[in-house]
Amino acid sequence: MPERWTPGDVLDYEVLLEGELSSSSHPGNSRDWFQGYKGRLIPKRIICSWLESRVKSTHTVLPGSTVNRLIRISSIVTAFFGLLAGVGLGWGGLAYSGSHPVNLFLILVLLSGIPFLLTSIAIILSFFPTGIGRSGRLTHRLIKILRGMVSFLKRLGLIDRVHADAVISGITRFRNRSAIYHSLLRWSVSSVIQLRAFCFHLGILVAVLWRGIVQDVAFAWQTTLNINPENLYRFTLFLSRPWRFFISPPALEQVEGSRIILKEGIIGLNNSDLVVWWPFLCLLILTYGVLPRLLLLGYSLIRKRIVLATLPFSDTMSKRLLMLMMAPRVEVTGDEPPREFETESSSSSTKSLKHESMDFQVLIPSYREDLMMEDSWMKYLSVYWGASLEQINAVSLDDEEDAHLLASFSRQNSGRNGLLVVFEGWRPYTAAAGLYVDSILTQLPSGTAVFAALAGRPGMGFKMEDRDKEDFRQWKRLLPGDVGSGICEIVELKGWQ
Amino acid sequence: MTLSFAVIGHPNEGKSSVVSTLTERDDIRISPTPGETEHSVEYTVELDNKPLISFIDTPGFQVPKKTLKWLSRRPLDDDAQTLSDAFEQAYSGRSAYVHDIRILRAVAGAHGLLYVIDSSKPIGPDDLAEMEILRRLGKTRMAVLNSKEDDSEYEEQWRAVLNRHFNAVRRFNAREAAFDERIRLLSALQLTDQHWESTLDKVINALSIDRSRRFGSAADIICSLIEDCMSKTIKASLKTADKPEDVQKSMMPSYTGWLREREEKAFKELRSEFRHRHFEMDLNSEDLMVHDLFAKETWRVLGLTRRQLAIVSALAGAAAGAAVDLALGEITFGVFMAGGAVLGGFSGLAGSRPLSRVKVRIAGMRQQLGQQYIELGPPKDIQLAYILVDRALLYLDTVSQWAHARRESADPKNVISSLPLTRQWSRKKQAVLSRFALKIIKGKAAEQELDNLRIVLIDVIKAVEEGREL
């Protein structure tokens, strides 16, 4: 598990988390992993271990290491430029020609007053609960800047395309989840800013120290305001409170001695009074510039560390991940084989068998007593078919059981005899029916008119209910026979009462 | 031990439907055309990659009387495997017997049998032959009456016969069976054979845990939906010639479009959580309750009533005002609290129209330089959150109860009555959602509120599942 979380780890986690939750090709990866997990059942521990294992095993390019590297590089670059700016300001501010002393007020405001003001604002801001919220524009702007930076580095060739894309997609993901990580973003950005500010102040201090060591820098003050040396002395005493017990600030005489009175010029100034301000200035920058910024830097780093160390992983996606890991995974395996070829319909031919003037033997399943009405059959065959009924036979619709009946029908067949077999068309077609028809067709002389009629449910005659229509269609499709050669045709007994 | 059950029956009695619902596989081919299943296919339920139970979907009997006749000629002490092998040997190569060979093979390899019948049909001689075949094969077996309660006119007749041939008889309408019905079927199987108890216990336990996990996930999905929708903002640049009102108007379709898409994504996640790959429910049809997300009718029927919304908003406003009063050391004598309540109440009344209030902000540098932009969102009225929750729960309720054997589109009207919509929630529960939505709208972290909402949603979902009052 990552011993100490970094922003890069968080980005890696987000990328892997999204992949895990949206993965349909490898469902249950996390559960598999969890079953081998031996650590303590604390959500954060589990997630840390999971992340570590996933980072090791994934083939995806993760943004974490690149991000951490970018943060390091940007910190170094920022620190360097901060230092440079500080040195530049300090060096330029103390530019001293040797003919006129440095204006004390100007240098105090420039090197200490303004930076101190900015430091104070930074301190106040650091106590605000949030500057970067869920929908905070600052968050989005910062992320935009970060993305821009990465794109720029990619164009420069400092990051290869694959890693740059990984970082950009990671940052985008981070933006979508900024509601959760806004504190992390805030303190990460704050750390970089404080580092830059600290280096800036350090640069000023270094420049002032260097100037004082290598040059004989003289400071003096003059004012059009009604400020007397006593006031300035009291002010210096106030400013030097943190260190005056160790190093004394300029004494009142020295303050008075470093005052330029325009009409008197600088001739009468005492050299020792003019140089006494240098240590005071150094300590001022150290106390009100460098140290507060160092504290702010430390505070930001600590807050960032705390945020990383206390990431709660209580967001909905993390909870889903934990659930996926901890709940037993129920899966169902098994696949259907490809379909076999469809049986072609036997009744597709448009040619119909003739049944006029024929004598019909009707075969009805023995359990369909409701259909064994001789009068109805006679009437029907006569009116609708122009045929006559020879006999109604109760059959089992099993070729072996009905073999003797079929044999006798075959023997009696005079060429004018027809056969009408009633099947239950509301029941699914089975191969048994096919075998029965096959048996009839093989036993009867070629050219015998064999008809099949499909009965509906008991009591329904030959009417099909809507729920049975599919079975009926299936019968018509699958019942063997060849209408073209004159054997077996399915007929609908319309008009049956 | 992996238990296997062969699901046997006459063609088109719903064997595949039973397997589909029991295994939650909506990709199993089900058709009103008989004889669609040609091969025996084994579907195994695995728990953490360990097979626990499998259901073998078999073709329907094709020549049961002949098969029975053949069986009756065999020695009585032949076991199922011997009979199956001998039958295969006897009829191999005869196409009419192919399915029966496959059935006997499946039976021989299975621990138990589920004989599926459609009790809306009378018993036929083939059915009697099939039952006799199964009895002869000597496996523990249960008969499953796969038909609707109001479509089982021959049930008594069936039961009288089935009781003679089977260890247990159970009604199981595969097209309507919800989760608890599946569990009851498995529990009934437990009673048919003592040896199956521990395995089936594991299966039932795993399925129940998995079900709870899914509810948790569903709650998370809904929370994410609310979170995303209630914090959504979109931006467009504002040029010199543009009127902000016109730009705002032109942005609305893409804003609402995004919300609709986000909702659809949540529905998709819910579907996938409950293993529905082909499930469809048209929430944008013309039915009552299922209009478009931003239809007036949706906002009238779903979400809170005007009165409830006014109360909830007033309470939220009062809470915000009270915070100001407290911050000012209560020298304001509760003026802010009262003001907040009044404002909240009025805004609640206004919020019963579809997306009536969306935050609009014009920001950026000067318009002349083209750097100014207009930002739309987040939605300011919490009614949207209630509507989204209602629609998501409605969808979830349907998808979680929808049997995997059912392949037609869902009609939400059938499920709406059982659903506790947000307006039926207790005020406490409503307040949890309000607090969460308000925090999100304000862009504040809402971890605690999220947890509370999650608990409420799980409770609501479980109440629906368990059929208890909220």
Q: What is the pLDDT of residue A344?
A: 45
> With contacts defined as CB-CB under 8 Å, which chain A residues touch B43?
332-334
A186 vs A484: CA distance, rounded Å: 86
E runs forming strands in B72-174:
112-117, 140-145, 168-171
| C-alpha of B84 from chain center | 40
Shared domain for A170 and A314, answered yes or no, is: yes
Per the domain annotation, does A264 fall within a domain?
A: no
- Among B33, B126, B213, the residue with its CB nearest the CB of A470 is B33
- Which residue, among A482, A451, A438, A447, has the nearest Cα to A363 in the 3D structure? A451
Shared domain for B285 and B412, answered yes or no, is: yes
The chain B residue lying nearest A134, using CA atoms, is B443
Per the domain annotation, does B85 fall within a domain?
A: yes
The chain B residue lying nearest A337, using CA atoms, is B39
- Among A316, A332, A435, the residue with its CB nearest the CB of B23 is A332
Shared domain for A443 and A311, answered yes or no, is: no
Instruction: Write out the two tokens for A324.
Output: 């996926």
Q: Inter-axis angle of helices B197-230 and B383-401, to 10 degrees? A: 160
What string of DSSP letters covers A153-217? HHHHTSS-HHHHHHHHHHHHHHHHTHHHHHHHHHHHHHHHHHHHHHHHHHHHHHHHHHHHHHS--
Shared domain for B265 and B371, answered yes or no, is: yes
Shared domain for B174 and B230, answered yes or no, is: no
Q: What is the pLDDT of residue B354?
A: 65
B23 vs A75: CA distance, rounded Å: 56
Per the domain annotation, does B203 fall within a domain?
A: no
- Among A135, A316, A434, the residue with its CB nearest the CB of B443 is A135
Shared domain for B158 and B63, answered yes or no, is: yes
B 121-180 residues with CB < 8 A to A: 121-122, 124-126
| C-alpha of B176 from chain center | 12
- Among B32, B440, B450, the residue with its CB nearest the CB of A470 is B32
> What ipTM was estimated for this complex?
0.73
What string of DSSP letters covers B444-466? ---HHHHHHHHHHHHHHHHHHHH
Which CATH number do you get for residue B21?
A: 3.40.50.300
B224 vs B229: CA distance, rounded Å: 8
The chain B residue lying nearest A321, using CA atoms, is B217
At which of B130, B157, B192 does a domain end?
B192
- Which residue, among B340, B345, B311, has the nearest Cα to B323 in the 3D structure? B340
Per the domain annotation, does B344 fall within a domain?
A: no
Entry field: residues in chain A: 497
A430 vs A11: CA distance, rounded Å: 62
> What distance in Å separates residue A137's CA from the closest CA in chain B?
10
Q: Do A24 and B216 touch (CB under 8 A)?
A: no
Per the domain annotation, does A314 fall within a domain?
A: yes
Per the domain annotation, does B324 fall within a domain?
A: no
Per the domain annotation, does A205 fall within a domain?
A: yes
Give the amino acid at B199. T
> With contacts defined as CB-CB under 8 Å, which chain A residues touch B363?
137
What is the greatest pairwise CA distance in chain B? Answer: 102
| Cis omega (within 30 of 0) for bond into B412 | no
Cβ–Cβ < 8 Å for B294, B355: yes
The chain B residue lying nearest A140, using CA atoms, is B233
Shared domain for A388 and A313, answered yes or no, is: no
Per the domain annotation, does B323 fall within a domain?
A: no
> What are the residues whose beta carbons fall under 8 Å from the beta carbon of A124, sequence distance 6 or more?
none
Shared domain for B415 and B448, answered yes or no, is: yes
B 443-462 residues with CB < 8 A to A: 443-445, 447, 450-451, 454
B375 beta partners = B235, B361
Shared domain for A30 and A159, answered yes or no, is: yes
| C-alpha of B350 from chain center | 34
Shared domain for B188 and B221, answered yes or no, is: no
Number of CB atoms found within 10 A of residue B304's CB? 27
Sequence-separated contacts (24+) of B355-362 with Cβ below 8 Å: B355/B256, B355/B294, B355/B379, B355/B381, B355/B384, B356/B381, B357/B381, B358/B252, B358/B255, B359/B233, B359/B441, B360/B244, B360/B248, B362/B238, B362/B244
Per the domain annotation, does A125 fall within a domain?
A: yes
In chain B, % of residues over pLDDT 70? 83
Shared domain for B165 and B240, answered yes or no, is: no
Cβ–Cβ < 8 Å for A195, A297: yes
B83 vs B72: CA distance, rounded Å: 11
Which CATH number do you get for residue A432?
A: 3.40.50
Q: Inter-axis angle of helices B383-401 and B244-273, to 10 degrees? A: 30
Count of CB contacts below 8 A, A vs B? 167
Shared domain for A78 and A154, answered yes or no, is: yes
Number of CB atoms found within 10 A of residue B232's CB? 18
Using alpha carbons, list the distances in angstroms from residue A420 to A360, A378, B258.
Answer: 7, 13, 66
Shared domain for B224 and B185, answered yes or no, is: no
Using alpha carbons, list the distances in angstroms from residue A280 to A108, A219, A336, B75.
Answer: 10, 11, 89, 116
Pure H helices in B274-382: 296-301, 306-327, 335-350
pLDDT tens figures, B136-170: 999 999 999 987 666 667 888 899 999 988 999 99
Q: What's the rounded mean pLDDT across residues B66-95? A: 92
Cβ–Cβ < 8 Å for B13, B116: yes
Shared domain for A311 and A387, answered yes or no, is: no
The chain A residue lying nearest B39, using CA atoms, is A337
Shared domain for A197 and A314, answered yes or no, is: yes
pLDDT tens figures, A445-475: 776 788 888 888 888 888 878 878 788 888 8
Lowest-pLDDT choice from A410-414, B44-48, B353-357: B353-357
Per the domain annotation, does A235 fall within a domain?
A: no
| C-alpha of A496 from chain center | 66
Shared domain for A186 and A44, answered yes or no, is: yes
Q: What is the pLDDT of residue A348?
A: 43
- Among B61, B121, B233, the residue with its CB nearest the CB of A135 is B233
Q: What is the pLDDT of residue B143?
A: 94
Shared domain for A29 and A157, answered yes or no, is: yes
pLDDT tens figures, B311-335: 777 777 777 677 666 666 666 666 7
Per the domain annotation, does B124 fall within a domain?
A: yes
Shared domain for B41 and B152, answered yes or no, is: yes
- Among A28, A135, A315, the residue with its CB nearest the CB of B378 is A135
The domain tally of chain B equals 2
Shared domain for A306 and A432, answered yes or no, is: no
> With contacts defined as CB-CB under 8 Å, which chain A residues touch B41?
334-337
In chain B, % of residues over pLDDT 90? 32
Using alpha carbons, list the distances in angstroms from residue A162 to A11, A72, A74, A151.
Answer: 16, 20, 20, 12
Pure H helices in A310-430: 316-326, 374-380, 403-412
At which of B159, B192, B225 does a domain end?
B192
Q: Do A334 and B12 touch (CB under 8 A)?
A: no
> With contacts defined as CB-CB under 8 Å, which chain B residues touch A319?
216, 220, 454
Per the model's pLDDT, the better-predicted residue between B45 and A337 turns out to be B45
In the predicted structure, residue B462 carries a pLDDT above the cut 70: yes
At which of B135, B161, B192 does a domain end?
B192
Q: Which domain holds residue A405?
A: 359-491
In the predicted structure, residue B8 carries a pLDDT above the cut 90: yes
Shared domain for B274 and B188, answered yes or no, is: no
Q: Give A415: exposed, middle or buried? Use CB within 10 Å, 0-12, 13-18, 19+.
A: exposed
Q: Is B268 on the interface with A (CB under 8 A)?
A: no
> What distance in Å separates residue B33's CA from the closest CA in chain A?
6
> What distance in Å separates residue B203's CA from the closest CA in chain A?
9
Lowest-pLDDT choice from B98-107, B140-149, B385-394: B140-149
The domain tally of chain A equals 2
Cβ–Cβ < 8 Å for A280, A217: no
Per the domain annotation, does A1 fall within a domain?
A: no
Helices and strands (H and E) in chain B: how many? 15, 9
Sequence-separated contacts (24+) of B324-329 with Cβ below 8 Å: none
Shared domain for A315 and A459, answered yes or no, is: no
In the predicted structure, residue B369 carries a pLDDT above the cut 60: no
Per the domain annotation, does A432 fall within a domain?
A: yes
Per the domain annotation, does A241 fall within a domain?
A: no
Q: Do A330 and B62 touch (CB under 8 A)?
A: no
Q: Which domain holds residue B187?
A: 3-192
Per the domain annotation, does B454 fall within a domain?
A: yes
Using the Cα atoms of residue B454, residue B455, residue B461 and residue B462 in order, give the sign of their dihedral.
Answer: positive
Per the domain annotation, does B382 fall within a domain?
A: yes
> With contacts defined as CB-CB under 8 Å, which chain A residues touch B226?
none
- Low-confidence stretches of chain A (pLDDT beneath 70): 1-3, 23-28, 96-99, 128-140, 175-176, 178-179, 262-271, 336-356, 413-415, 447, 480-487, 497
3-state SS assignment for residue B25: coil
The distance in angstroms from the start CA to the end CA of chain A is 83
Shared domain for B133 and B281, answered yes or no, is: no
Which range scores top for mean pLDDT: A93-107, B70-84, B447-461? B70-84
A203 vs A91: CA distance, rounded Å: 9
Shared domain for A316 and A365, answered yes or no, is: no
Q: What is the pLDDT of residue A414?
A: 66
- Among A334, A396, A458, the residue with its CB nearest the CB of B42 is A334
Q: Do A429 and B49 touch (CB under 8 A)?
A: no
Shared domain for B174 and B221, answered yes or no, is: no
Helix (H) or strand (E) holding A120: helix A114-126
Q: What is the pLDDT of residue B258?
A: 92
> With contacts defined as CB-CB under 8 Å, which chain A residues touch B38?
337, 339-340
